[in-house]
C-alpha cells in the first residue's frame, strides 16, 4: 500500500513537473498578421471591426483626447522624461510619433472643450489655451482652474469632464476603502457618519472658466461615490454618467459574513446616472448585483442581507465586481454601425480583488443606449488586452485598458497604462 | 487547477482538496530542492514528504499568506501595479530582516518609493499575529515565488516587537 502510494506520488510529481515545464514554454503565441499598415493588435472584436496599435509609448498612458485635426494628447500617470502630457501625430502608415510633451505632474484627467485642453494633477485642474488648430499655445504656462483638492494615498486621481453650460465636474475619490476607523483592518468598523464625505467621495462641480477655485467655489454635485475614474457627459439627455470603483475586501475585513468567493463577486461595479444632489450610498451601502439591491455595508451594521436606506440611488448598469472601470465614453461618431450610436463604451482596467478566483476585466465593454438610458444588456466589445488566456494576478496582464477617446472620423482609441500602447479600433464596411 | 508560469503560482491556489494539498506539497519540495529532485530521481521521490520543520514552517506560512496577504500581494507575490508592491525579487524582501518584521507588525501607510515605483494602497498592521506566525509568513515569502532569502525566526520577531532590535 505504502509503496503504491509512493509510486502514485512519483507519478503525480512527474505529471506536475511536466505541466510546469510546459507552462514555461511560450504557448499558443498569436502570430502578428502582416497588415498593410502597422502591427495589428491581437484583440477580439465584433465582426467588421479592425484594430491596430498606433504606438507603444512605454509610459503609463491614462486619459486620451483626439482633436478634430487628428492631434492626440495623452495624459501619463507619472511624467516620463519630465513630461506628463504627450502630443502624438498619426502618420499615413497608421503609426503615431511623439511630436511634443509638456506638464510635469502626476494625474489622469484630460478633456478638450471650448478652445482649452483641461488636465488634472492629483490635487488640481489646469487648462491650456489652444490655437485654431487645437495646438497648445503656451505648454509651460497653464492656468490653474482648481487647486487644493483632497488627495489620499488611494483613489488620488481626479477625473474631469465638462458639460455644455460652462461647468467642469471633478471626481474626488475617498482616501479610504470603506471609511473604516482603521483602513482595511479586519473587523474595524466605519467612522460614524463618514465625515470625509464633506471633501471627498463624490463629484464636485466648478466653473470651467474661473481661475483659482477650490472647495469654497465648488459644489458637491453628488456624494456617496467611492471613487470614479471613468465619466462622461451624455449629450442626449444632458446628464453626467459615472463609473464607480466598488469597495474591496469584504471577506478580508469581515470573514464571518463573507466567503472569499462572495468577496470576489461583490459588490457590482456600477454605472450611475448622476443628477445634482444624488447620493450613491458609499460607504454606508454597496450594490449587490445578485440581490439587485443596495445592501448595508458591514462597517455600518450590515450583515450581508440588510437593505440600505431608500434615499440612495441605484445604478443604471451593474457590471461584475472589481473589474475597475477606468474609461467611459458615449459614442457619437458615425463610423461604427447604428447600434453603437450614443451607446457607452467602458474600459475596464481589470481586477485584483477576485483572488482566489481568476482576475477579470482587461477589456472594453459596450452598453447600448437610447435617449440617455441603457436599452439592452452590456456586452464585451474588445477583449484580449491581457495577452494571456487567464490572469491570476494582475501583473500577468500585458496590457490594461484605461482611457477612451473618439477620433473625428469616429474611430475609437484605447490607452493602456502597462506598456503605454494606444489602440485604434475602426469599422470598415 | 491553473498552471500559468511559476511554481509559486501553480501551488498557490490549491488548498481545496486533500489530494491537491499533497500535490502542492510536492511542488513546494520541488522548489526547495530542485537539484536533488533532478539528480536523484527515484531516490528522492520516496522522501517526498518528510515532516521536517523547515517544510512545516513553509506550510504554516503559506496558510497565513493565503489568509491575510494574498488579496493584496496576489497568488504569485506579484502585487498589483501602482497599488500593492510585489514581494518578489524586490531589494527589501531579500534584505534586512528587522524592517520586514516591522512592516508586518506596523503596516505601511506612507508613500515610499520601492525600487523606483510608488504604491498607493495602505498595508494594514498585523499586530494580532503571534511572533511565530510573523516568522512563518515572512519565511514563506522570503523562500517562495522565486525568492531565495533566509528564514526569519520567532526570536527575531520577538526582539523586534520588544524594541531590542531596531
Model pLDDT for residues A255-291, shown as the tens digit of each residue = 999 999 999 999 999 999 999 999 999 999 999 999 9
Reduce the DSSP state of residue A13 to 3 states and report it.
helix
Whole-number mean pLDDT of chain B? 74
Q: Tell which residue, B55, B65, B139, has the closest CA to residue A356.
A: B65
Is B103 within a domain?
A: yes
Give me the mean pLDDT over the A45-71 stretch.
95
- What mean pLDDT comes out for the span A53-65? 94
Q: What is the pLDDT of residues A163-192, one digit of tens each?
A: 999 999 999 999 999 999 999 999 999 999
- Give yes or no for a cis peptide into A351 (omega within 30° of 0): no
CATH number assigned to the domain comprising residue A257: 2.120.10.30
Confidence grade of residue B35 (pLDDT, cut at 50, 70, 90): very low
Output phi, psi for A118, to 5 deg: -95, 140
**Residue A422 within any structural domain of the chain:** yes
Residue A111 has pLDDT above 60, yes or no: yes
* Beta strands at A116-120 and A110-113: parallel, antiparallel or unpaired: antiparallel
Given a cut of 60, is residue A7 above it in pLDDT? no
Res B31 pLDDT > 70: no
A47 has pLDDT over 80: yes
Q: Is A160 part of any domain? A: yes
> How many domains does chain B divide into?
1
Identify whether A410 is part of a domain. yes
Residue A172: C-alpha distances to residues A177, A221, A225, A348, B118 (Å)? 14, 11, 9, 20, 20
CB atoms A356 and B79 under 8 Å: no
Per-residue pLDDT reduced to its tens digit, A215-228: 999 999 999 999 99
Report the pLDDT value the prediction gives residue B2, as an integer from 0 to 100. 36
**How high is the pLDDT of residue A41?**
57
Residue A207 has pLDDT above 90, yes or no: yes
So what's the pLDDT on residue A2? 46
- B34 — pLDDT class (breaks 50, 70, 90): very low
**pLDDT tens digits for A294-321?**
999 999 999 999 999 999 999 999 999 9
Portion 319-358 of A in contact with B at CB < 8 A: 352-353, 355-356, 358
- pLDDT of A19 above 90: no
Per-residue pLDDT reduced to its tens digit, A88-99: 999 999 999 999
Range ranked top by mean pLDDT from A39-53, B107-121, B148-162: B148-162
Region for residue A190 given its phi and psi (left: phi exceeds 0; alpha: psi -120 to 50; beta: otherwise) = beta
- A-chain CB neighbours of B32 within 8 Å are none
Domain containing A322: what range? Answer: 54-427
From the CA of B163, how many Å to the nearest CA of chain A? 23
pLDDT at A102: 97
CA distances from B24 to A61, A296, A341, B30 (A): 39, 39, 51, 10
How far apart, in whole angstroms, are the C-alpha atoms of residue A93 and residue A113?
A: 29
Higher-confidence residue: B117 or A140?
A140
How far apart, in whole angstroms, are the C-alpha atoms of residue A385 and residue A426?
16
A65 pLDDT exceeds 60?
yes
* Cβ under 8 Å to B: A residues 17-36: 17, 19-20, 22-24
Return the higher-pLDDT residue of A279 and A40: A279
Average pLDDT for residues A193-217, to the nearest whole number? 97
Identify the pLDDT of residue B91: 82
The CA distances from residue A134 to A71, A72, A80, A183, A227, in Å, are 8, 10, 23, 44, 31
Task: Give pLDDT, residue A297.
Answer: 97
- Closest partner residue to B45 among A6, A19, A358, by Cβ? A6
| Dist CA A352 CA A248 (whole Å) | 9
pLDDT score for A112: 97
Instruction: Determine the pLDDT at residue A40.
Output: 54
Q: How many CA atoms lie within 13 A of B150 on its CB side?
A: 7
C-beta atoms of A24 and B81 within 8 A: no
CATH of residue B118's domain is 1.10.760.10
Query: What pLDDT, in 10s, does the model give residues A345-358?
Result: 999 999 999 988 89
Domain that holds residue B144: 7-161
Say what percent of chain B tops pLDDT 90: 46
- Nearest CA to CA, how far is A13 from chain B (Å)? 7
Range list of H helices, chain B: 7-11, 18-32, 34-39, 41-46, 53-64, 70-73, 91-94, 97-106, 131-142, 154-161
Q: Report d(CA A189, CA A197) in Å as an integer.
A: 16
A355 contact residues in B (CB cutoff 8 A): 70-71, 74-75
Question: To the nearest whole percent, how much of chain A has pLDDT over 70?
Answer: 90
A382 close to A44: Cβ distance less than 8 angstroms: yes
Q: What are phi and psi of A222, to 5 degrees?
A: -150, 150
Q: How many domains is chain A partitioned into structurally?
A: 1
| Residue contact B75–A395, C-beta within 8 A | no
B22 touches A at CB < 8 Å = yes
What are B81-113's pLDDT values in tens digits?
889 999 998 888 888 999 999 999 999 888 788
What are A377-404's pLDDT values in tens digits?
A: 999 999 999 999 999 999 999 999 999 9
Do residue A23 and residue B68 have CB atoms under 8 angstroms apart?
no
Whether B2 maps to a domain, the answer reads no
Q: Which of A39-43, A79-83, A110-114, B100-104 comes out lowest in average pLDDT?
A: A39-43
Q: Is residue B1 part of a domain?
A: no
| Backbone dihedral angles phi then psi of residue A21, each to the nearest 5 degrees | -60, -45
Is residue A3 one of the residues assigned to a domain? no
- Taking contacts as CB-CB distances below 8 angstroms, the residues of chain B near A416 are none
B23, B46, B120 ranked by CB distance to A16: nearest: B23
Residue A35, in any domain of the structure: no
By C-alpha distance, the chain B residue nearest A186 is B124
Where residue B118 falls among pLDDT bands split at 50, 70, 90? confident
Mean pLDDT, rounded, of chain A = 91
pLDDT band at A39 (very low <50, low <70, confident <90, very high): low
- For position A26, what pLDDT does the model report? 37
Amino acid at each position: 500500500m505504502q509503496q503504491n502510494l509512493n509510486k502514485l506520488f512519483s507519478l503525480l510529481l512527474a505529471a506536475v513537473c511536466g505541466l510546469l515545464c510546459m507552462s514555461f514554454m511560450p504557448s499558443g503565441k498569436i502570430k502578428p498578421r502582416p497588415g498593410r499598415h502597422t502591427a495589428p493588435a491581437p484583440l477580439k472584436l465584433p465582426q467588421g471591426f479592425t484594430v491596430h496599435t498606433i504606438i507603444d509609448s512605454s509610459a503609463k498612458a491614462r486619459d486620451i483626447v483626439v482633436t478634430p485635426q487628428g492631434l492626440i494628447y495623452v495624459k501619463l500617470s507619472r511624467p516620463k522624461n519630465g513630461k506628463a502630457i504627450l502630443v502624438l501625430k498619426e502618420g499615413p502608415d497608421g503609426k503615431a510619433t511623439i511630436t511634443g510633451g509638456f506638464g510635469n505632474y502626476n494625474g489622469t484627467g484630460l478633456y478638450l472643450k471650448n478652445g482649452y485642453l483641461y488636465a488634472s494633477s492629483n490635487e488640481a485642474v489646469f487648462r491650456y489655451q489652444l490655437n485654431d488648430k487645437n495646438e497648445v499655445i503656451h505648454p509651460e504656462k497653464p492656468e490653474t482652474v482648481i487647486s487644493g483638492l483632497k488627495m489620499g494615498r488611494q483613489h488620488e486621481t481626479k477625473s474631469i469632464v465638462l458639460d455644455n453650460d460652462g461647468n467642469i465636474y471633478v471626481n474626488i475619490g475617498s482616501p479610504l476603502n470603506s471609511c473604516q476607523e482603521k483602513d482595511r483592518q479586519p473587523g474595524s468598523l466605519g467612522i460614524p457618519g463618514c465625515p470625509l464625505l464633506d471633501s471627498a467621495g463624490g463629484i464636485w462641480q466648478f466653473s470651467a472658466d474661473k481661475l483659482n477655485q477650490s472647495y469654497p467655489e465648488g459644489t458637491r454635485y453628488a456624494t456617496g461615490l467611492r471613487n470614479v475614474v471613468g465619466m462622461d457627459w451624455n449629450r442626449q439627455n444632458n446628464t453626467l454618467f459615472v463609473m464607480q470603483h466598488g469597495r474591496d475586501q469584504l471577506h478580508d475585513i469581515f470573514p464571518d459574513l463573507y466567503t472569499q468567493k462572495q468577496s470576489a463577486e461583490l459588490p457590482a461595479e456600477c454605472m450611475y446616472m448622476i443628477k445634482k444632489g444624488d447620493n450613491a450610498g458609499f460607504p454606508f451601502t454597496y450594490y449587490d448585483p445578485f440581490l439587485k439591491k443596495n445592501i448595508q455595508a458591514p462597517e455600518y451594521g450590515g450583515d450581508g442581507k440588510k437593505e440600505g436606506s431608500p434615499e440612495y440611488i441605484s445604478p443604471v448598469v451593474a457590471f461584475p465586481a472589481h473589474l475597475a472601470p477606468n474609461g467611459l465614453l458615449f459614442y457619437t461618431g458615425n463610423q461604427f454601425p447604428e447600434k453603437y450610436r450614443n451607446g457607452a463604451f467602458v474600459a475596464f482596467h481589470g481586477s485584483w480583488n477576485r483572488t482566489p478566483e481568476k482576475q477579470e476585466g482587461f477589456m472594453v465593454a459596450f452598453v447600448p443606449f437610447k435617449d440617455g438610458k441603457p436599452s439592452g444588456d452590456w456586452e464585451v466589445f474588445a477583449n484580449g488586452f491581457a495577452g494571456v488566456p487567464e490572469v491570476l494576478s494582475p501583473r500577468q496582464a500585458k496590457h490594461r485598458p484605461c482611457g477612451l477617446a473618439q477620433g473625428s472620423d469616429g474611430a475609437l482609441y484605447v490607452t493602456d497604462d502597462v506598456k503605454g500602447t494606444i489602440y485604434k479600433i475602426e469599422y470598415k464596411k | 487547477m491553473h498552471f500559468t508560469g511559476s511554481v509559486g503560482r501553480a501551488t498557490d491556489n490549491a488548498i481545496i482538496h486533500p489530494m491537491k494539498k499533497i500535490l502542492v506539497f510536492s511542488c513546494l519540495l520541488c522548489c526547495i530542492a530542485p537539484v536533488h529532485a533532478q539528480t536523484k530521481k527515484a531516490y528522492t521521490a520516496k522522501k517526498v514528504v518528510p515532516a521536517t520543520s523547515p517544510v512545516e514552517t513553509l506550510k504554516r506560512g503559506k496558510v497565513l499568506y493565503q489568509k491575510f496577504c494574498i488579496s493584496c500581494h496576489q497568488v504569485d507575490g506579484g502585487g498589483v501595479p501602482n497599488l500593492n508592491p510585489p514581494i518578489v525579487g524586490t531589494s527589501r524582501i531579500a534584505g534586512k530582516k528587522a524592517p520586514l518584521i516591522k512592516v508586518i507588525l506596523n503596516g505601511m501607510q506612507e508613500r515610499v518609493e520601492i525600487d523606483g515605483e510608488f504604491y498607493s494602497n495602505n498595508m494594514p498592521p498585523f499586530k494580532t499575529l503571534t511572533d511565530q506566525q510573523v516568522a512563518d509568513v515572512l519565511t514563506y515569502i522570503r523562500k517562495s515565488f522565486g525568492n531565495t532569502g533566509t528564514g526569519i525566526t520567532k526570536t527575531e520577531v520577538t526582539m523586534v516587537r520588544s524594541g531590542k532590535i531596531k
